Structure 1
Amino acid sequence: MGSSLPVIAITVGEPAGIGPEISLLAAWELRGQVRPVLIGDAAYLAMLAHDLDRNIRLMGVSQQALRHNGLPGCGKDQITVIDSPLMAHVVAGQLDPRNGRAVLATLDVAIETIQQGWCDAMVTAPLQKSTINDAGIAFTGHTEYLAQRTGSAQVVMMLACEASDHLPQALRVALATTHLALRDVPNAIQFDHLLRTLQIIHSDLQEKFGISKPKIFVTGLNPHAGENGYLGREEIDVINPVIQHARSAGIDARGAFPADTLFQQKYLKDADCVLAMYHDQGLSVLKHASFGLGVNITLGLPLIRTSVDHGTALDLAKLGTGLADANSMCVAIRIAAEMVARQAASRGATPSPNGLAK
Structure 2
Amino acid sequence: MKVALTCNILPSDYSRESGDDTFAEFDAPSTIEAIKRALLNFCDSVTVVEADEDAYETLRRGGFDFAFNIAEGVRGEAREAQIPAMLEMLGIPYSGSGVTTLAITLDKRRTKEVLAANGIRTPRFQLLSRESDLSEDLKFPLFLKPNGEGSSRGITAKSLVVSREELQGVVSEMVSRYRQPVLAEEYLTGREFTVGLLGNSPEVLPIVEVSFDGLPEGAPRFDCYEVKWIYDSLDAGYDTTVCPAEVDDDLRSRIEDTAKRTFEALEIRDLCRLDLRLDEDAEPSVFDVNALPGLIPDPEENSRFPKAAYASGRSYDQLIAEIFASALERQGMGF
TM bracket (short chain): 0.3 to 0.5
Task: Name whichever structure is richer in helix by fraction.
Answer: 1
Relative to the length of structure 1, the TM-score reads 0.31
Question: Which has the higher Rg, Structure 1 or Structure 2?
Answer: 1
Relative to the length of structure 2, the TM-score reads 0.32
